[in-house]
């Protein structure tokens, strides 16, 4: 596994001196593959999705964001179905996703956010798929 160094320098605007320097020495994890159950949710199912608000505070975007169990798939990870073109960002979580309700506890659940039930059905996503998770 290779490690990368990310250096972020934030310069002070008024003084012209470096105000803060952060160095991230954590190793970058390679992408991993796993079999998941894919479900969907849309505005109107609960009060949070009706307001387009995720558990991380991010405004939900249809077809772009999804909910995952952060113990299995880290938040802000990119999720892509193998041999597929769609990619989602994991920005949300929920009790049904954490309990793996849709898969009856057998496999992790990826809950895709859509604008409506019709849009989710139009995506024609498989119920069970192998996905690639990358940071």
In a domain? residue 60:
yes
Model pTM score: 0.72
How many structural domains does the chain have?
1
Q: Are strands 32-41 and 109-113 parallel, antiparallel or unpaired?
A: parallel
pLDDT one-digit tens code per residue, 26-59: 665 678 999 999 999 899 887 778 888 888 888 9
Q: CA end-to-end span of the chain, whole Å?
A: 14
What is the CATH number for 110?
2.40.40.10
Answer positive or negative: Cα dihedral of 32, 40, 43, 87. Answer: positive
Nearest to 37 by CA among 125, 134, 127: 127
pLDDT one-digit tens code per residue, 7-17: 333 334 445 55
Q: 51 by DSSP, 3-state: which?
A: coil
- The parent domain of residue 86 ranges over 32-134
Please give the average per-residue pLDDT across 50-71, as a whole number: 90
Task: Give the span between the Cα atoms of 109 and 96, in whole angstroms.
Answer: 9
- Write down the pLDDT at residue 78: 94
Q: Establish how many alpha carbons lie within 13 A of residue 125's alpha carbon, considering only the half-sphere containing its beta carbon.
A: 29
Nearest to 33 by CA among 103, 107, 96: 107
Task: Give the span between the Cα atoms of 80 and 129, in whole angstroms.
Answer: 10
In a domain? residue 73:
yes
């Amino acid at each position: 596994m290779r490690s990368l160094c990310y250096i972020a320098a934030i310069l002070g605007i008024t003084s012209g001196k470096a105000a803060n320097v952060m160095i991230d020495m954590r190793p970058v994890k390679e992408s991993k593959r796993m079999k998941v159950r894919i479900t969907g949710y849309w505005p109107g199912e609960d009060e949070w999705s009706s307001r387009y608000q995720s558990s991380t505070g991010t405004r939900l975007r249809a077809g772009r964001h999804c909910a995952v169990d952060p113990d299995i798939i880290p938040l802000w990870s990119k999720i892509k179905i193998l041999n597929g073109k769609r990619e989602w960002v994991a920005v949300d979580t929920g009790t049904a996703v954490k309990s793996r309700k849709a898969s009856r506890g057998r496999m992790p659940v990826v809950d895709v956010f859509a604008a409506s039930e019709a849009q989710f059905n139009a995506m024609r996503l498989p119920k069970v798929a192998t996905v690639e998770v990358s940071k």
